[in-house]
Structure 1
């Protein structure tokens, strides 16, 4: 059984997200599944994503974490958000052609941030469960109408995306699956 979740952007027929779009041949083509603590994505990168011989480029580790955290926010909070800060810590190099799991979580929401920033965290783990990298980030939610001039979406795509963002799902506000 395929548990893959459809991100709201997937309603746009030709979206090109570097992280998660199946329409971007140069991208990572990440897919997402529920995790008891939030959202996860399995990752295996080949030589096209190499820095030092046999090692995944460190910048891509940040991209992967950002992608899983950002999509968790979209799925749990039902709002798109731009990344405004991100800090990634590398504990051990990720190796090419090896399997990893990125898990993103949202902290319990005790009270809203005064700035509206949504905090998230992610870990990339190897097949033994050892943490190889961690990342924390802050995301600024936005209304589609407010950033419409920055996005290459026509009216139909905006309507599709707005409808997809309002669709119910099984994530709580803190991203934990119910």
Structure 2
């Protein structure tokens, strides 16, 4: 489980099931969703799940909206992060979010445990990838559901937009091709 806190100086203890994301080859990557180096971020870690990929989390008051309630925008961010990393791990390609729709069934509460589970749908027209995610509480009740469409990209085609050195792009490209955590349909291999 990943315990999140804006005060946390170190990432949670190592879990042998945690899937290493390709971005981790860049020593100080700062992804808001999954980097252990971003002290303002969510610091999500991922584990295989029967239907794809999951992240367990608990958010503190640094992520609050109304008193005791997690800011709703973070619900979408968490779903997007798990779906996006599932694509990277299963299809070995990064992808930009094209559209995302999130249904909020119940508010997420501060200092409660949740898990976000993502799975892949079919590849759509034009090579677009469809994914879905649900955030579930400790009783396994669905609190939010999200569906998104992603456009895969080649690192070289967006090189001008990335703030990475050439050696970091090469490391990331190699990590993408060797990631073996999940099968192409998102189910653990």
Per the normalisation by structure 2, the TM-score is 0.90
Distance 2:125 2:107 in 1: 37
Aligned twin of 1:80: 94
Aligned residue-pair number: 175
Provide structure 2 residue ranges, at least 5 long, that are not aligned to the other structure.
1-14
Aligned twin of 1:120: 131
Match of 1:146 among 152, 157, 174: 157
Deviation at 1:168, TM superposition (A): 4.3
1:62-73 residue pairs with structure 2 within 5 A? 62-73=76-87
Aligned twin of 1:48: 62
Q: 1:49 to 1:169 in 2, by over 3 A?
A: same
Aligned twin of 2:118: 104
For 1:29-86, what per-residue CA distance to the aligned partner results, in whole angstroms no more than 9, with x for missing partners?
0000000110000010000000000000000000000000000000000000000100
- Is 2:106 aligned against 1:92? yes
Runs of 4+ more than 2 Å apart: none
Distance 2:58 2:82 in 1: 15
Aligned twin of 2:39: 25
Aligned twin of 2:22: 8
Per the normalisation by structure 1, the TM-score is 0.96
DSSP-derived class of the 1:115 partner: helix
Distance 1:170 1:80 in 2: 15
